Amino acid sequence: MHPSVPSRSSPTTRRRIIEAAVKLVRQQGYSATSVDGICAEAGVTKGAFFYHFRSKSEIGEAAIDAWCQNRVELYTVDLGDPEDDPLARLDRWLDGLAASLRKPDESSACLLGMMAQELGGSDERVREICRGKLQGWTALATGLLAAVKQSRPASLDFDPEQLAWMLNSIWQGSLLIAKNLQDPESAAVNLKHFRAYLGALLGETPK
């Protein structure tokens, strides 16, 4: 009758587990998050959990995937029309990043950064996965910055990829600090400074 009714629940259950994992890992970190806790948060039993995921690390990877895809979707919306002025697109993107911090439930924590930090020294596999995601993020920024550079012939000769990694570092560091200060504003300020630095590189006259 109602084709939207999921016969049993499989996709829903899997998604609920992942969402619960993302939430808890962002709050407590990966190691401090137990499978039991994820199940309780998701409202499923361990039997169901281990049907969908072979191990805790598997859900960790799934959480990273889900988180990153979610973020990419979130931010690419802000980019707008590729025909626009590259700098305008970049500005919208930066504004989107800053705005995302102020959403109440976001709590200023990047699951990717947290897991990279926590497991980077002990779990080779997760480190590689995080590396791929971080490089993806950076590649996006690199593309934008390269376009901006090309659209501004007067600019100094900077390396877009270097700058993209710097932006990534600022972003991760800002989130870390913001989480500790429980105040996302400094993160927004940092982005502004990055933008100002870019302006200087492009030859804009500071106001």
Which residue, 48 or 115, is less far from DNA as judged by CB?
A: 48
Residue from 18, 26, 33, 138 binding DNA (CB under 7 A) = 33
Q: Smallest distance, Å, CB 57 to DNA? A: 6
Residue from 9, 10, 12, 31 binding a copy of itself (CB under 8 A) = 31
Place of tokens 């996302």: 184
Q: Smallest distance, Å, CB 34 to DNA? A: 3
- Asked if residue 54 binds DNA (CB under 7 A), the reply is yes
Q: What is the three-class DSSP state of 165?
A: helix
- Asked if residue 34 binds DNA (CB under 7 A), the reply is yes
CA-nearest of 119, 69, 95 to 191 is 95
Q: How many residues bind a copy of itself (CB under 8 A)?
A: 49
Contact 22, 66 (CB under 8 A): yes
34: its two tokens? 């137990």
CA-nearest of 41, 55, 42 to 15 is 42
3-state secondary structure 125-146: HHHHHHHHHHHHHHHHHHHHHH
Give the interface with a copy of itself as residue ranges (CB under 8 A): 26-32, 107, 109, 113-114, 116-122, 127, 130-131, 134, 156, 162-163, 165-166, 168-174, 176-177, 179-182, 186-187, 189-190, 193, 196-197, 200, 206
